[in-house]
Amino acid sequence: MAQGWEFVGLPALNFSTDEGFGYGVLAEIYNYGNGLRPYKYTIQPTIFLTTKGRRDVVVFLDAPHVLPGGWRFDASVAREQQLATPYYGIGNTTVYDSTLERAPNPYYYRYEKVQLRLFANAQRRIGSAPARMLFGFGISDVTTDATPFDSGSTLLATQLGATQAPKGNVGSLRAGLIWDTRDREIGPHSGTWAELLAQRVDRAFGATDEFTRVTATVRHYLPIRENLVGAVRLFAQQSNGDVPLYDLSTLQSSYKNQEGLGGSNSVRGIARNRYTGKGVMLANSELRWRFKEFSLRGKPAFLLASGFVDVGRVWTNSIKVGELIEGLHAGYGGGMRIGLGPSFLIAIDYGRSSESSQLYIGLGYLF
């Protein structure tokens, strides 16, 4: 069991078909105390840029065992500049036509988004049960440009016409319940991690628009053999109210929000944010085989291979139960994880769908 400090600093070399080659610097600093799991706290600063216009500076803190009274605290502060954010329209049947991306409109399915954001959450265990309550807040300032790099025309500019590109603040409070029986948080072998979260974005909290977002997620890990695990995630999210375009693709989580539908965080093999709507449902299934244990620079390390199938769909306004198995978008593929120490993982995934093939290189597990 790890004790004391662990520091991993690497060039942030990354690639995804959606965002091109990524480069920068990342560090993951862990303090394990006297063998606390998953750690006493971690600080993860990142400077990350990509050849397709991403310019991010992020600092993330997660502190499971610092505050008294059994409280867990996490927070992130960031400046994220995406000079070419994907946008294909809203709804589950939006059409992609590659000929529209030819000169003079190479960014037809893109727009520029820049945001400053601060998020924080506090969690506390409920009695002796494997359950926690969560309270959180967030504030972000977002500006957009319908024609990134002032290059030609875009789908968003066409839809907006003479209307100004959206901008504003997203100020929110949220609360939730979490059920967690995982045997370990990073790469669990067994157990369930489920959560129900409700977020309110309101002018009273500094927001420009007002809406409510409710998210339910169930993740289950089934041990098949000592080194073979089946992992499943079921996700449903419904937003109601005036959700601004720049926040419509957010997938809410108790641990680092994600984006979708499409891309490395949801349905792999489909382009990032390919489908967006107020209602979202998705399912991910993985088979994870930890086939090699070894030492690297005096630290325990391992290799893990995985196969996956992802499916999901969106609704422009509200989820319709009768359409849950209609209009599904699917991706499938395989991946590799290189683990170094108890917490650090390099991830490589390759996904295919009826629309495209996508390669992702990053960190950690999808869920």
Average pLDDT of span 228-254? 97
| Lookup: tokens for 40 | 């006493």
Q: Which of 1-15, 142-156, 205-219, 303-317 has the lowest mean pLDDT?
A: 1-15
Q: State the pLDDT at residue 11.
A: 61
pLDDT at 307 over 80: yes
Provide the percentage of residues in the chain whose pLDDT is more than 70: 96
Q: How confident is the model at residue 104 (pLDDT cuts 50, 70, 90)?
A: very high
Distances (CA, A) of 208 to 111, 172, 226, 247: 20, 11, 51, 12
Strand 344-352 to strand 20-31: parallel, antiparallel, or no bridges (unpaired)?
A: unpaired
Average pLDDT of span 258-268? 93
**What end-to-end distance do the CA atoms of the chain give, in Å?**
23
pLDDT at 233 over 90: yes
Q: State the pLDDT at residue 14.
A: 58
Q: State the pLDDT at residue 262.
A: 95
Average pLDDT of span 155-176? 95
Residue 138: HSE in the Cβ half-sphere, 13 Å Cα cutoff = 27
Match 């600092």 to its residue by tokens.
59
Q: How confident is the model at residue 366 (pLDDT cuts 50, 70, 90)?
A: very high
Per-residue model confidence as pLDDT tens digits over 8-62: 766 656 566 666 677 777 778 889 988 888 899 999 998 888 877 788 999 999 9
Q: How confident is the model at residue 238 (pLDDT cuts 50, 70, 90)?
A: very high
Q: State the pLDDT at residue 13.
A: 60
Average pLDDT of span 269-291? 97
Per-residue model confidence as pLDDT tens digits over 341-362: 888 888 999 999 999 888 888 7
Arithmetic mean of pLDDT over the chain: 92
Q: How confident is the model at residue 221 (pLDDT cuts 50, 70, 90)?
A: very high
Strands (E), the chain: 5-11, 14-16, 20-31, 41-50, 54-63, 71-86, 110-125, 131-145, 168-180, 191-201, 211-225, 228-241, 250-251, 258-259, 279-296, 299-315, 329-340, 344-352, 357-363
Q: How confident is the model at residue 2 (pLDDT cuts 50, 70, 90)?
A: confident
Q: How confident is the model at residue 316 (pLDDT cuts 50, 70, 90)?
A: very high
Q: Does 286 or 342 have the greater pLDDT score? A: 286
Q: How confident is the model at residue 214 (pLDDT cuts 50, 70, 90)?
A: very high
pLDDT at 296 over 70: yes
How many other C-beta atoms lie within 10 A of the C-beta of residue 296? 12
pTM (whole model) above 0.85: yes
